[in-house]
Amino acid sequence: MNELETRWSDLGEFIREQRRVGHLSLRKLSELAGISNPYLSQIERGLRKPSAEILQQIARALEISSETLYIRAGILEEREGDTDLITEIRRDLWLTEEQKKTLVQIYESFRAERRAAGFEPPLAGQGRLDDELGGPLEGAADDDAESEALAGR
């Protein structure tokens, strides 16, 4: 498998895992994203190369950043270094000062937990899906029908 095929396969795997984390069946995600079920299935298996617009629809349906999918698809370059999330929170005009303080405290407590557990963020481009999701998915259903039944959908 060449680098491009690997990238599409990894993107599809990431989308599938995000779908499962969100307890969405393939059918439900395709409905939310406004794309056909077979097309989404092909994307997840790395057989199709979705456009930026399709990736944006999938990201919106998964409630994740479009940028995340664009980087994984090779449409955007990964930002160098650590993003300064705290500065961005403090700049947000939609939040009150109290909300900003609370968000910063929660964010810093999550990071401290991960550091205490020995987590080291991977260098750019070297992360594994399990690391990004906080470890292997325990009890992730292998079958969409089982996943759908568990989620009560």
On the question of pLDDT at 38 being above 80, the answer is yes
The ranges of the chain annotated as CATH 1.10.260.40 are 1-77
On the question of pLDDT at 77 being above 80, the answer is no
Average pLDDT in the 131-135 region? 41
Is residue 82 exposed (0-12), middle (13-18) or buried (19+ Cβ within 10 Å)?
A: exposed
Is the pLDDT higher at 37 or at 111? 37
Give CATH for domain 1-77.
Answer: 1.10.260.40
Question: What does the pLDDT read at residue 122?
Answer: 59
Q: How far apart are the first and last CA of the chain?
A: 36
Average pLDDT in the 62-66 region? 88
On the question of pLDDT at 13 being above 60, the answer is yes
**pTM (two decimals):** 0.56
Average pLDDT in the 40-68 region? 92
Pull the structure tokens for residue 129.
């899906």
Average pLDDT in the 138-146 region? 40
87 contact partners, CB below 8 Å, separation of at least 6 = none
State what percent of residues in the chain have pLDDT above 90. Answer: 40
On the question of pLDDT at 136 being above 50, the answer is no
Is the pLDDT higher at 114 or at 31? 31
Confidence class for position 119, pLDDT limits 50, 70, 90: confident
